[in-house]
Amino acid sequence: MGKSGFITASTVSGGRKKIVYVDDMNYSLISFKKGLGKFYEIYLGESAVHLYKILENITPDLIILDVNMPDVDGYEIIKELKASSQYSQIPVIFLTSNIDREDVVKGLSLGAADYVLKPFNADKIIESIENQLNPNKMKKNKITAKRSGNHSVLVVDDIASMLRTIHHALHDKYEVFLLSKSEVVIDFLHNNRPDLILMDYLMPVLNGFELIPQIRALPEYKEVPIIIVTTEGTFRNVSEAMTLGASDFIVKPFDPKELNYKVDRHLRLTKELHDKKTEAANQPAAKQITSAEEDELIRRAREEIEYFLH
What is the model's pLDDT at position 147?
Answer: 41
Region 133-150 average pLDDT: 52
Global pTM reads 0.54
Could you tell me if 168 and 161 are in contact, meaning their C-beta atoms sit under 8 angstroms apart?
no
Question: Quick check: do 6-141 and 152-254 share a fold?
Answer: yes
31 burial class (0-12, 13-18, 19+ CB within 10 angstroms)? middle
pLDDT digits (tens, 9 = 90+) for 31-40: 898 889 889 9
pLDDT digits (tens, 9 = 90+) for 77-110: 999 999 999 999 999 998 877 656 677 778 878 8
What is the model's pLDDT at position 17?
Answer: 92
Q: What is the residue extent of each domain of the chain?
A: 6-141, 152-254
Instruction: Specify the fold of 152-254.
Output: Rossmann fold (3.40.50)
What is the model's pLDDT at position 291?
Answer: 62
235 burial class (0-12, 13-18, 19+ CB within 10 angstroms)? exposed
Q: Is the pLDDT of residue 230 over 60?
A: yes
Give the residue with greater pLDDT, 44 vs 144: 44
Q: 165: closest CA among 216, 200, 194, 139?
A: 200
Region 207-215 average pLDDT: 89
What confidence tier does 13 reach under pLDDT thresholds 50, 70, 90?
very low
What confidence tier does 297 reach under pLDDT thresholds 50, 70, 90?
low
Instruction: Specify the fold of 6-141.
Output: Rossmann fold (3.40.50)
Region 168-190 average pLDDT: 89
